Structure 1
Amino acid sequence: KTGQKASLPVFDRVSEDILVNELKKANLSVSGKTKLVDGRTGESFKEDTVVGVGYIMKLTHMVEDKTHARSTGPYSLVTQQPLGGKAQMGGQRLGEMEVWALEAHRATYTLQEMLTIKSDDIVGRARAFEAIVKGDPIPEANVPESFKVLVRELNSLGMALETIGAVIADEAQKEENEAVQSKEVVEKKL
């Protein structure tokens, strides 16, 4: 009402006495509140309301800056799993809780794909890509590289761990290479 402007740094304080004096000069209520009228009915609201410019602070975390996706990218040399983090062009991590959520929804095929082919099943990844390109059905997943790392670590501790009834990915790759070579030999003879 007085037309007087003031500037106050964000975290500085103003004494209550100064505020009360300024409100009195402007013929306003000392509480800083005023009667507010409902625009639809023309009646004033029961309670007095603080009126004025309100400032809020916001975090500047923009979704656009946070979004990250990759089709292919670098893999860890040890585990053969995608690297983590946007800066390293890494993949999205599927942690324990995400696995539990997918298990709860019985998304078994999605889980199998995420934990093998899209993670650290090197042979399976190559086979899946080849099958998709050729239009063939995607073959069964192999033993993940992280399991092989575990086996090697246990071996280094003097513990022998053998898989029973499972085909190790290296053996499966050898069998596949032999099959391809024999097929090529047959084709050359024809």
Structure 2
Amino acid sequence: MTSEKYDPLSWLSKWPRDKALWDVWREVHARFGLAAQRGTELETGLVMMISQMEQALQRNLKLEILLSAIEKNGALPLGPLISLFRRLYQVPEDDVLTEELEKAKKGRNYLVHHFYRDQADLFTTSEGCQKLAEILVGINDDLDAAIQYLENWRDNHLGYTPPEDVWDRINEDVARWKLENQLMLDSFLGKNERRS
């Protein structure tokens, strides 16, 4: 054991005087924030698609129930969201979307759970901060790719056709809502009977 007192800021004396510490760190933190935002956008997209499909399958299309499903699913971590999405929409294991979602999950989990702890030593040099920025750009790119694949998949598959009875139930519900909304409107407007 040494008698020298530990100085947690000793590395600062080696920082290049021509580079402002805050400017270099700011880029790393900004890129972290952008990647975290993209991760949240991916989670939100999955939450919305899962909640809408759950509601459609339950034949109970009420706003309160949708909002409750969004709140419930919004509390799930990314891994279970991906599993639930794949199960509800029957996305196969070997689908490119599955691969992209898994890669994004791995990057997002590293970002949130390990990035600052595992890479803390790189903050002590401007070169290290540049490496951190590059790591974050890679994670952001993986998240962007997953979001793009999810959007493309949605556009190509919703076109996805669930079993015929699901569509019949959805059409019945839509017709019922239309009638309920018209009756409510007539009531608000003071009409005693519905006009054709």
TM-score, normalised to structure 1, is 0.24
Higher helix share: 2
The higher radius of gyration belongs to 1
TM-score of the superposed pair, with normalisation by structure 2? 0.24
Relative contact order, higher structure (CA 8 A, sep 6+): 2
